[in-house]
Structure 1
Amino acid sequence: MKFGICQELFVDWDWEKQCDLIAEIGYTGIELAPFAFAERPSDISAEQRAFLRKTAEDRGLQIFGLHWLLAKTEGLHLTTADAAVRKKTADYLVELGELCADLGGDLMVFGSPFQRNVEEGMSREQAYENAAEVFRNCLPAIGERGVRICMEPLTTKETDFVNTCAEALELIDMVGADNFVLHQDVKAMLGAETESIPELIHKYDTRTGHFHVNDSNLLGPGMGETDYHPIFKALKESRYDGWISVEVFDYKPGCEFIARESFRYMKEVWESV
């Protein structure tokens, strides 16, 4: 299995130090948050992109994708009634797709809860159509670079747009692009779904392109109450061959401890199921 980690956890570390530790622990992949490197992807030069990629690859790591795509941006939104903003958002996603491919990645996780919330008075149907328009306008160009967008359901505590795997698939099917797939996140599934996580893994096994691991306490796998044995067993049974990527939101235990403990637990569980 391919274990990766979301690097914004190492918020104050330089890139070489991040890569050194991530590789030393045993991870083989890194998932980038673009805001950790620049305000806009266009601000990251070709030379910087080459440096980021080579630094990772020299340590046996692949930068496999991006997430937090619209975090810390202004004037971008997925479901807005403003057609000009929707166009800017699609154009921005194309910029991110170029960055992702230049870094060696092939997936982008669309979470960004604040930039997808439904505007007051807008119908559910219109919100879905507006979002579908954005994705229809960016996915062809992104696909030309070999990059997919993975739609991430989030809980109602975070957003009111796309809260379940079924709702994500509704949007994905509206768009109808081969490079638009489902993303599954353990914390989100724990907080938003009525079916168990193993059931959801099996139910959507042919549609899932990426998988985040964490816990409802916002820490990493093995650092909360969630038992990963049935989750990893289901991933094995479903023949999932993508990345399993650690994404945490509570950094208080320290980035190195979180990274090490998450990897230790995942490796132990994966080998036992």
Structure 2
Amino acid sequence: MILSASNIAWAPEERLAAYDLMAEAGLQGLEIAPGLLFDAAEDPFLPDAATARVALDEIASRGLSLVSMQSLLFGVQGAALFGDAVARAAFTRGMTRAITLAGRFSIPNLVFGSPYQRRIPEGMSEREARAQAITIFHHIGDLAAAAGTVISIETIPVVYGANFLTTLEETEAFVAQVDHPAVTLILDLGAMHLNGDFDALPARVGALTPQLTHVHVSEPYLAPAPDDATDLTPVVSALRLAGYRRAVSIEMKRPEGGLEVLRGRLAALADAVAA
């Protein structure tokens, strides 16, 4: 598996120091929110060639590679998976924009979270919403496959404002219903904690792995992660036993302690894997 971290854990001006810490801890992958990687660009999903080259060189010089992208609908106005025709078109354009950037930089995984852009509106049934989402994701799955990437669907608990695919079971079933090779599953450990399912996770990993293309090592509300390496070790062991070979990525918001806190969390991830 590829050990990774998301750039939402540091400020853009801290990126080089963060990359150095990742390299020192033995990480190989970087997950990006384009709005942070290309924060100075007029449109972070359309960075010019020179800006992109500088950013990619900085990453490669630390022995890191891009493994995933998140915050896919950053800056997109009026997008809604279950909105009217205009809102659905904005949603599809925003997702297409992210897919195009992933293809440009050979990023193999896109994380679809976006709790507010996927809320089922009052008056729409769960059955109608699911059918509509399957159609849209089959379409953007085709676009993702053509770009050489996949869209991994994230479980978003109710406490984060979501009302569609709020449990791992629902998300797993939806991915199976879409039945597209470029529409996959992400395992978010923070969601498992919030939903009270974390302790049962190691026993479930084997069945999940065929659909799984990304793992977020996270805590509730994006607190510093992993909080406890010993809790993470059984999950990592189950992933390894199941033959999972893709990214296991720290996802946490920038902590008050900044890079020193990040240093400790990177070490905790490395310790969990070593154990």
TM-score normalised over the length of structure 1 = 0.89
Asked whether the equivalents of residues 8 and 254 of structure 2 are also in contact (C-alpha less than 8 Å), the reply is no
TM-score between both structures, scaled by the size of structure 2: 0.89
- Contact 2:225–2:252 (CA under 8 A) maintained in structure 1: no
Higher relative contact order (CA 8 A, sep 6+): 2
Could you tell me which residue of structure 1 aligns to residue 73 of structure 2? 70
Deviation at 1:12, TM superposition (A): 4.1
Quick one: distance in 2 between partners of 1:221 and 1:12?
19
* Preserved CA contact (<8 Å) 1:90 1:135: no
Fraction of identical pairs, as percent: 24
Amino acid at match of 1:88: A
Residue type of the partner of 1:263?
A: L
Of 116, 135, 138 in structure 1, the residue corresponding to residue 137 of structure 2 is 135
For 2:126 and 2:43, the matched residues in 1 are separated by 30
> Residue 158 of structure 2 contacts residue 166 of structure 2 at CA under 8 Å; is this kept in 1?
yes
Partner of 2:87: 85
The yes-or-no answer on 1:261 pairing with 2:264 is yes
**Which structure carries more helix by proportion?**
2
For the aligned residue pairs, the C-alpha RMSD in angstroms reads 2.3
Cα distance change of structure 1 residues 78 and 41 upon mapping to structure 2, 3 Å threshold: farther
- Residue 202 of structure 2: aligned partner: 198
Q: Is the alpha carbon distance of 1:99 and 1:169 closer, same or farther for their aligned partners in structure 2, counting shifts above 3 Å? A: same
Deviation at 1:39, TM superposition (A): 6.5
Tell me the alpha carbon deviations over residues 164-214 of structure 1, each in whole angstroms, 9 at most, x when there is no partner.
222112222332211111100101012225471212322312111100002
Bigger Cα displacement from structure 2, 216-225 vs 178-187 = 216-225
Shift of 1:244: 0.6
What corresponds to 1:35 in structure 2?
Answer: 35
Say if 1:140 and 1:43 are closer, same or farther in 2 by CA, change over 3 A.
same
1:94 to 93, 96, 100: 96
Q: Which amino acid aligns with 2:227?
A: M
Unpaired runs of at least 5, structure 1: none
Counterpart Cα distance in 2 of 1:150 and 1:248: 18
Q: Which moved more, 1:40-49 or 1:25-34?
A: 40-49
Task: Name the aligned partner's letter for residue 6 of structure 2.
Answer: C
d(CA) in 2 for partners of 1:250, 1:200 = 30
1:90 and 1:193, CA in 2 relative to 1: closer, same or farther beyond 3 A? farther
Partner of 1:54: 57
Compared with structure 1, are the counterparts of its residues 173 and 40 closer, same or farther at alpha carbon in structure 2 (3 Å cutoff)? farther
